[in-house]
Each structure stands twice: as C-alpha cells, then as structure tokens.
Amino acid sequence: MKNILQIISIVLIFNLSAYSQTRIYTPVLKAPEDVAINQMPDALLDWDAVTGEGVEISYDVQLAQSPDFSDAVSFNNVTVTALNMTKLNFKELYYWRVRAHDGIATSDWSAAWSFYVVSTVTITSPANQSTQNPDPLVKWNTLTGVTQYEIQVDTAYSWRIENSGITTKLSDVFVVDANDTWAVGDAGVILHRTNGAWNSIESGVTANLTDVFFLDASHGWAAGESGTVLFYDGSTWTAMASGVTTTLNSLFFTSATNGYAVGNTGTSIHFDGTTWSNVVTGVTVDLYGIHGLDAQHIWAVGKTGKYSYFNGVSWVSGTVSTRDLLSVWAVSTDKVWIPSKAGKIYFWDGSSWSEQVSGSTKDLYDVCFLDENNGYIVGKSGTLLYYNGAQWKSTASGISQDLNSINIKDAATGFIVGNTGSVVAFQGEGFNSPYRKEYHAPGTILEFRFSNLLFGQTHYFRMRASHEQDTSDWSPANSFFVVAKPTLKTPVSNSVEIALDTLAKWEVLTGVVKYGIQLSTDEIFTDPLYFESSIGEYRFQDLIFGQDYYWRVNARHAGDISAWSDANKFTTINTVSLISPEDNAVDLSLLPKYTWNEIRGTEKYMIQIAQNNNFVGAESNIVTIPEFQTQFLLEKNTEFFWKVIAIQGLDSTNWSPTRSYTTSNGTSIPESKSQAFILFPNPSNGEMNLVFTVGNAELVKVEVFNLLGNSVFEDSFMSLVGEVKKNYDLRGTLKKGVYLVRLVDSKKVYTQKLTIE
C-alpha cells in the first residue's frame, strides 16, 4: 500500500509540474542552415514545432536584409512550421528568425540565421570548349522561384571598343605586356596605354608614323615617312639617323643589336645596335611588312606579290602572287602567313606558297598569331578574321572603320587599331556582335535547344534568370565549337574494288536540313556531280569501271552551310572475281555451273568458254545474274577454259583471270545442236508439253535427266505419222532446278533444257 501511494504521489507531482508551465518554447531553426549559400528566390524557411500552454500554436516569421531586423518583413500567425518566400533578390544576404504563440504566451525570437540567394544560373551542358552539332542542347541546374530565363549566344564576345582620345588614323599597335601597349599614327602620333587608359606621348616629329616595335619596356622603335626612325629608351622618344629618306613601313627586331626596317622602293636598312645601314634584299618595289622567327629566318613582303627571305647569310627574293602583300607573320619555318588585297591570304608550308580561303573580299592589312592554331587578320571596313588551325572565319570586331594593325600578346591581352583613332581591345565578356542571338524560356524548364548555329565557329553563351522583382547576374560564359564539316565514314579513303552503285555514308549531324554531296574524278573537284540527301547516306549509281572518284559532303540548315568535308577517294572495281569452278578443277560434271561475285550496279555479264586459253572459237553467253549454267553436255575428259567480263552500258571491266577445268570421264547424255521438238512452257512449274513431227510410225522415247546425268523420268510410246503432242504433269516429280529433256527416235537423239521454277 505504501508503494502505491508513492507512485500516485510521483504522478501527481509530474502533472502539476507540466500544467504549471508559464511560457512557450522558443522555436529552433532547421533550414536554410545559417550562412547557407545558393538559396532559391523562393527559399523555404523551416523550423521545429514547439509546445505551449495553449492548444493552438502559431508563429511569427521575420525576414530582413539588416542584421538588426530594422527593415524586416513580418509574416504573422503562421500555423505551419515552414514558409516559402517569394521573389527574393538574387545574390542578396537575408536574415530570418521565428517566434511562437500559443494564445497565452509568446516565445522569445529564435536565433537569427542568414542565407545568400543564388547569384545566377549554373550551366551543366554543353561542356565548356566541347564540339557540338549546330543545334546543341543547353542544360542547367534547377532554379525555383523564377519566371523566365534569358539566354544569349554569340560567336564574338571578346572584343570591345576603347576610347583612344584622338581621331587621327592609327597605323600600328604593339603590346609589351598587359599594362604596357603602344600605338602610332599620322602626324607623329604616339599613344601609350597604361592603367587601362590611352595617353598621347610627345614624339618630336610630325611625319606619319607607320609601325612600332618593342623588345621590352625600355627598347622600342617607331618608323614612318621620310625615313623617320625613333627610339624609346624607357622614358623618352628620340630621333635616329636612318640614312634614308623614303617611307619606312615596317620594323622587326630580334635583339637590341639586330633589327630591320623596310619601306618604299625596296628600301631595307639594318640596325646593329649603333647605326643603320642599307641592305640589298633583291626587291626594288615597295615593301610593306617584315617579320621573322630569329636572326636566321626573316621574311619581307611588298608590292605586286614580291617578297624576300633572309636565311642568316643572304636575302633571296621571289614572287608569291601579283597582288600587293601587306603584312607577314611567321610562326615557324613552315608556317608563314601573308594577308593581301581583296581578301587574299597566302601561306608558306616550308616548300611552296598557297592561297587560303579567307571568306572575305576586303583588303587585309595586318596579321598576328599566338600560335599555329590561333591567328588574326584585320582589314578594311572593320574586317576581323580568326584562324582556328583549320580555316579562316570572319568574326565581329564591333567597328566599321578600316583596321590597320593587330597585336595579340596572349589569350587575355590584345589590341586592334584603325582609322579615326579607332581602338578595339580584347576582353572577356562582350556579347555585342551583330550575330548575337537572344532567347527567352519559361522558368519551369531546365533545358533549351539552340538551332541554326554557324558551322565551324566557336560560340559563347550565357544565361540569367528573373522574376517580377529582380534579375540575376549573367552566368559565366561557356563556349563550344560547332562542327565545321561532316565526317565521312564509308567508303573509306583509298578504298578499291568499289561497286558501281556504292552506298556512301557519313556521320549524321543533328540540326541539319540537307546534305550536299559532290562526286568528282579529280581531287580538286573541277566539275563535280552534285547530289542531295536528308539522311546520312547517298547511293552513287552509274559509275564507271576502274575509275578513281573523290567525294565530299557539306551540311546546311536555315542559317548556314558548312565547309566541305575532307574528301575521300575510292576506285571502282575493274575485274570480275570468279568463284567456281575452281582453277584447275578436275573430274568436273559435264554440265558445269559457273559462278562469280556480283558487281552491284552492273547491267550484265559475258562469259566465254573455250577449249583453248586463247579463246579461239569460244562460246560467248550474256547473262544478267552472276552465274551461268551449261545447257548441253560437254565432251568427256576434256580441258576447258573460261573467263567473265562485266558490262554496264558502253563500259566494261577487264576480263577476269582465266580459269581452267577438266570434265569427268563418266556417262554422258548425248546432245544435239539442232532442236527437233517444241518444249513448253519453259520455264515451267512441272507441266511439260512436247510437240514434234515424225515421218514414219515408230517407237519414241522421252527422258528427263538432272544435271548430274541421272534419269528422273522416262516414257516410251509408238508414234503415228505426222505431228505428235504429248503432255506430262511432273509437278510431283521435278523439283526446282534445271533439267535436260531428251527425245529419242529411230534416227537421232534430241536434247533441250527445261527450267522448273
């Protein structure tokens, strides 16, 4: 009894304690965690439930951007333990806290937590610098609480126009480093760019300056009209005696004691560290550009396609074309580029000059390469060309003025200068070219497919999200390269023995409407045949035996046509490949069957069979299938020779190699070259009708043999004088194949072939 009372006492004490609670518990925050990042604009604020003296619990939630909650927005009397925000500003820091009510008391505010709203979209595909078809699929991570996405795509996002502070023509630019760039121009203008700004520098001359070259920050030269040469020592420009009075157009130095200047009327001078002296290059016309690799490899180019090359010992002159050569850049001894007038670009591969397709007809004034896969050319009317290691493509400079010079230091620093003081700087955002495309997509999707993008171009794209109250930052730009041209599959290059109706295949590109196919008998496609296909294959037909063919493919959609693929070469078959009888076969059936490999696209074949390897008196037969069945029994124990030729129209292959065989010595079926009876229908399904005429009543025998010489049917009867008709139903006796029907009377034996189908 005592123990029971103790238990009751304990329960009463516990209950009294519970019901004597005088305050409600303070909520504990759950998510977003304190100082969380990349939260959505509709972030879900979540906290633990609490208990109190009252029956109904509600909560007050405050959201602020000040840590003291002086600008708080309150959400009162919330009856759940989680609350979605809406339209929060991107990239902003928010603070939040919660307190509870039970109808009797109010808890303290919870600890204040903070979180950052996501700043922009995270792109997941395509992979940066990947190669894509012209309709790549863009994907990104989920963003909730947004109403739309904006997407920009461009092929030239990395150039911007800068203010030079002048309107005078600028002729040349040289980048020493990221914070040290020089430009020169008409009327003795010299500009120096430091700390992101261009400033005019006193040159001490009024002559038009045409070129500038620096070895380092304290060794620079400028040249121009009337033989003007200036030297920069790191602080000032001073005039030098050049020894000439003609206009100097270009400079090149390998060291402080080895430099060249070239100019009009073939003027060429050399600097040895102290003085300038004349050099004979072998060119007497105006020289416009000079560049090299080192003291042993230097090229100078000029008017009417003339150039001269210094090999370390002497200058050797030559001619590239008839057009004026306006600049030159050497990457290596077998990679030298020269821009010219009318969009012409000439390339030296170490042994000869060739023209590269520029895609432009504008005069091209200057060239600069970072490496063999990254080159630039500028020219008339804002022309800017980029070389990607495979081809030249036009890209946006953002300006329409003539561009006279370009100099790129590295992947992040470079400048272009031109008429009216124009300066275009290499930079990392942009998206300001005429090609730029903009798209808008609803905030409920996570992918978007581009369409009709340019072939063979690097494309840059970026995204941002928005809702009614705010727009995110642009995402970092991603890039991808749109495939330049289709890739051929089959026939592979240098394939041989290709059929006359061969099926050509290539890698399928999505986002393509049509493929163009060219087929030519010469590798430069002088006068090609042209075909089209909407799928990744095309069947060539009516080809010629033994002919070399070259084929290539391009692709197109509404916005562009790709470059032609690399050409594949194939050679069509020019002889028939025999199968059976094998060469030198013996003991062969007296009714042999000849077979050979089919040549697709062939109209017919001719087979010749003779008893001599010169085929004198040969039997010739034309067939449309790659086989021939002997119709009459051959002589026993005799050597025969055979060969085949394929025929298409007026064209034919060479004769196949000759094969021989020897027939068996077995029982033969006599044959007659004359036909003394009519056999029909032939081919037949097994019904056989014979019509013949006899002069006297006599015994007649009808026999049917298979090609092995075995008798499979026979019938004997007494015939009357005159026409005789016989009908036989052999549908249950004769299987599909070729048989010989023999008619024997008292005078002769007659044989015909019967085909059962």
End residue of a domain, out of 426, 461, 491: 426
CATH of the domain at 60: 2.60.40.10
Kindly state whether residues 250 and 302 are assigned to the same domain. Answer: yes
Is 191 inside any structural domain?
A: yes
Is 489 inside any structural domain?
A: no
Whether the pLDDT of residue 314 is over 80: the answer is yes
Is 20 inside any structural domain?
A: no
Which residues face 194 on adjacent strands? 197
Min mean pLDDT across 145-159, 219-233, 568-582 is at 145-159
Kindly state whether residues 246 and 379 are assigned to the same domain. Answer: yes
Q: Tell me the pLDDT tens digit for each residue of 679-711.
A: 888 888 888 888 888 777 788 889 998 877 788
pLDDT at 396 (0 to 100) = 60
The encoded tokens of residue 541 equal: 């037909």
CA distance 167 to 150: 37
CA distance 393 to 396: 10
Is 304 inside any structural domain?
A: yes
The DSSP element (H or E) to which 13 belongs, if any, is helix 2-19
Region 82-94: what's the mean pLDDT? 95
Whether the pLDDT of residue 15 is over 80: the answer is no
End residue of a domain, out of 58, 91, 117: 117
How much of the chain exceeds pLDDT 90, in percent?
73
Whether the pLDDT of residue 354 is over 50: the answer is yes
259, burial (CB in 10 Å: exposed 0-12, middle 13-18, buried 19+): buried
Give all strands of the β-sheet with 392-394 in edge-to-edge order. 364-371, 374-379, 384-387, 392-394
Model confidence band, residue 9 (pLDDT cutoffs 50, 70, 90):
very low
CA distance 593 to 153: 68
Region 20-43: what's the mean pLDDT? 87
Domain count, the chain: 6
pLDDT at 271 (0 to 100) = 98
Kindly state whether residues 113 and 144 are assigned to the same domain. Answer: no
Is 253 inside any structural domain?
A: yes
Kindly state whether residues 276 and 163 are assigned to the same domain. Answer: yes
Q: Tell me the pLDDT tens digit for each residue of 94-139.
A: 999 999 999 899 999 999 999 999 988 988 999 876 899 999 999 9
Is 91 inside any structural domain?
A: yes
Is 561 inside any structural domain?
A: yes
End residue of a domain, out of 609, 640, 663: 663
CATH of the domain at 340: 2.130.10.10
Region 344-370: what's the mean pLDDT? 95
Range of the domain at 267: 159-426
Q: Tell me the pLDDT tens digit for each residue of 611-638.
A: 999 999 899 999 999 999 887 778 889 9
Q: Tell me the pLDDT tens digit for each residue of 243-297.
A: 999 999 999 999 999 999 999 999 999 999 999 999 999 999 999 999 999 999 9
Higher local confidence (pLDDT), 656 or 746: 656
pLDDT at 342 (0 to 100) = 94
Kindly state whether residues 442 and 376 are assigned to the same domain. Answer: no
Model confidence band, residue 3 (pLDDT cutoffs 50, 70, 90):
very low
Is 607 inside any structural domain?
A: yes
Kindly state whether residues 153 and 163 are assigned to the same domain. Answer: no
Kindly state whether residues 697 and 559 are assigned to the same domain. Answer: no
Whether the pLDDT of residue 717 is over 50: the answer is yes
Kindly state whether residues 559 and 599 are assigned to the same domain. Answer: no
CA distance 83 to 403: 59
State the chain's mean pLDDT as an integer.
90
Q: Tell me the pLDDT tens digit for each residue of 392-429.
A: 877 667 678 999 999 999 888 999 999 999 999 987 56
pLDDT at 2 (0 to 100) = 37
Instruction: Assign 226 to helix, strand or coil.
Output: helix
Whether the pLDDT of residue 516 is over 50: the answer is yes
pTM of structure: 0.54
Region 648-673: what's the mean pLDDT? 78
Kindly state whether residues 370 and 449 are assigned to the same domain. Answer: no
Kindly state whether residues 610 and 734 are assigned to the same domain. Answer: no
| Selection from 224, 144, 147 nearest residue 190 by Cα | 224
Kindly state whether residues 466 and 416 are assigned to the same domain. Answer: no
Kindly state whether residues 547 and 606 are assigned to the same domain. Answer: no
Radius of gyration of the chain from its Cα atoms, rounded to whole angstroms: 46
270, burial (CB in 10 Å: exposed 0-12, middle 13-18, buried 19+): middle
Whether the pLDDT of residue 361 is over 60: the answer is yes
Whether the pLDDT of residue 54 is over 70: the answer is yes
